[in-house]
Amino acid sequence: LVIRPFNFDTLATQAHTLAADERLAEASTAALIIVAVGLLPMIVISRQILAARRR
């Protein structure tokens, strides 16, 4: 990746590197972790919105 900082690997850059090397099984683990971490706040926010509408 062109714009990433030097000596700083994030989970996204790791997933991209693994996918570019066609190591898809290993890349999928990193990608699923990214999705899960993003999904958890969405579930919490959704429940709060639904609870506010019921009041």
Quick check: 18 and 30 in contact, CB under 8 A? yes
Which position has the higher pLDDT, 21 or 9? 21
Task: Assess if residue 23 is contained within a domain.
Answer: yes
Cα dihedral 9, 12, 15, 18 sign: negative
Structural domain of residue 34, as residue ranges?
12-53
Tell me if 30 sits within 8 A of 16, measured CB to CB. Answer: no
Domains contained in the chain, number: 1
* pTM metric for this prediction: 0.73
Contacts of 11 (CB under 8 A, 6+ apart): 30, 33, 34
- Say what percent of the chain tops pLDDT 90: 80
Which pLDDT score is estimated for 5?
A: 75
Mean pLDDT of 19-48: 96
In a domain? residue 30: yes
The mean pLDDT value for 26-45 works out to 96
48: in domain: yes
Domain-located, residue 20: yes
Question: Is 4 a member of any domain?
Answer: no
Q: In degrees rounded to 5, what are phi and psi of residue 6? A: -70, 145
Q: Which residue has the tokens 């099984």?
A: 25
